[in-house]
A and B are shown apart, each in its own frame.
Chain A
Amino acid sequence: MPILDQWNLRLDADAILRGQGADPVILRTRRPNLVKIAEQAIGEALTRVYPIVLYERYPVGSILHNSIRLLNGKEITGKAISQYLSSSKEVLVMVCSIGAELEEYASQVMETDMVHGLALYGAGSAAVEALANAACQYFEEQAAQKNWQTTIPLSPGMIGWPIEVGQPQIFSLLDGEQAGVKLTESAIMLPMKSLSLILGLGEDLNQQGTPCDYCSMRDICKYRSDHAKQDA
């Protein structure tokens, strides 16, 4: 299975602060020391992330109620799947991970300094999010070369695709261990700073909506406004 591991990730303090549930604009004025901690976390994080994307493409065979069946006979089920992927000719399944070193370091730091540890966790979340965004953009550009489009990325845990349903489906289509990612019995990916995604590929795809529409965190997520701006 193809692996992409040459990624130049960029992080900024704002993304890290948002990853901790804070508004960067307010904190810059009110608590500059917390912004400094976030900035320090960037440097520490970037030396401890090993971005990798493992992926595979599968032709779609048929569309069923609430599911799609791939030509290899495997099914992907979920309301979000049928809604967003039903017009796709292929699906691209991927796992993005930044490795385990940063989260191990963050755990160690958290034992003695919760604030610093929290910033490092925020940096990890921002890094894997940045990796997934970069990967989606890469595949979108690849698709565009043959006048295809990509759907919005769907992840297990979104509304309409429960995590306990979606994660095993993705890992039945990808050998996650090639990217150093394992799935536990309770559907947690290890390293935890990993994201699994599926994209539909094809012509004239219905592009309505955003990933936020199907995210279970949509009412409280600090990233939502940013996605909305990008999508506008």
Chain B
Amino acid sequence: MPDLTAYSQEFAQLLLNSDVQRAKEYSLELLDGGISPIDFFNDIFTVALTEIGDKFARLDIFLPELMDAAETAKTVSTEVVQPKLAEKNAGYNTIRGKIVLCSVKGDLHDIGKNMVKLMLQVNGFDVIDLGVDISPRDTIRKAKEEEADLIGLSSLMTTSMPYMKETVELRDEFGLKGKVKVIVGGAPITPEYSHQIGADAFGRDAIEGVRECLRLMESTK
């Protein structure tokens, strides 16, 4: 297989430029030029997103640029990559995991959660977004019903943090510990708090959240 690094770098730049049309054309050129949809997805699309995430983590780009790139990637994925995969690799599953996501009870903030949602979607997760102010019981019920791999809990308020603990406890009571991993995040959340309440992972921001979700999925294989 040819080294696809140069392609992923060029694709990352198109995403960062938010050049939707050119990003779609470039993807089609590569796909029609002999690169298989699976290789494109794994070695160009995903690698480019990782590179952009790393830039954000290094503060080389700002949040609106990250979101803009993610929106462009989502369009390319929906309009080019997924149809090509369906056409040439029917049955190939690009879904890396299913996650139930919400802002916990008492918390009405949704911007951070929505960013995590977008980043998870473009990184191949099936996201079931329950919204804001979601009780532990509703979260666990939905995770069970959907046979989710992960639960993502967001909280921006110290006053709503206890509901994260309650959700983890309820998961354990339902016998889902080890089956459904819980990741937590939000401004007041720390790794120590995450550990203290028995969550499986902590994401400082949307990028770290995606990385941790991927790690959790790897650990369940």
Contacts and interface: CB of A to CB of B under 8 A. Distances in A.
- Whether chains A and B associate is yes
Interface of A: 17, 20-23, 26-27, 30-31, 33-34, 37, 107, 110, 113-115, 117-119, 121, 162-164, 184-188, 190, 192
A34 B111 contact: no
B108 A114 contact: no
Contacts of A17: 64
30 contacts: A17-B64, A20-B64, A21-B64, A22-B64, A22-B65, A23-B62, A27-B65, A30-B65, A31-B65, A31-B68, A33-B18, A33-B68, A34-B64, A34-B68, A37-B64, A107-B110, A110-B110, A110-B114, A114-B71, A114-B118, A115-B64, A115-B71, A117-B114, A118-B63, A119-B64, A162-B158, A163-B157, A163-B159, A186-B159, A188-B108
B106 A186 contact: yes
Nearest to B161: A186
Contacts of B157: 163, 186-188
Contact of B64 (A107, A118, A184, A188): A118
Nearest to A113: B71
A124 B131 CA distance: 21
B107 to A, nearest CB: 7
Contacts of B70: 114
B28 to A, nearest CB: 23
Interface residues of B, number: 22
A188 B68 CA distance: 29
B214 interface: no
Contacts of A21: 62-64
Given A115-B67, A190-B108, 5 more contacts: A27-B62, A34-B68, A115-B71, A163-B158, A188-B107
Given A27-B64, A118-B64, A118-B111, A185 B106 contact: yes
A20 B63 CA distance: 7
Nearest to A107: B110
Interface of B: 18, 62-65, 67-68, 70-71, 106-111, 114-115, 118, 157-160
Contacts of B107: 186, 188
Contacts of A37: 64
B159 A164 contact: yes
A83 to B, nearest CB: 21
Contacts of A164: 158-159
B159 A121 contact: no
A113 B107 CA distance: 23
Nearest to B162: A186
B88 to A, nearest CB: 29
Contacts of B110: 107, 110
Contacts of A115: 64, 67-68, 71
Contact of B106 (A119, A184, A192): A184
A55 to B, nearest CB: 25
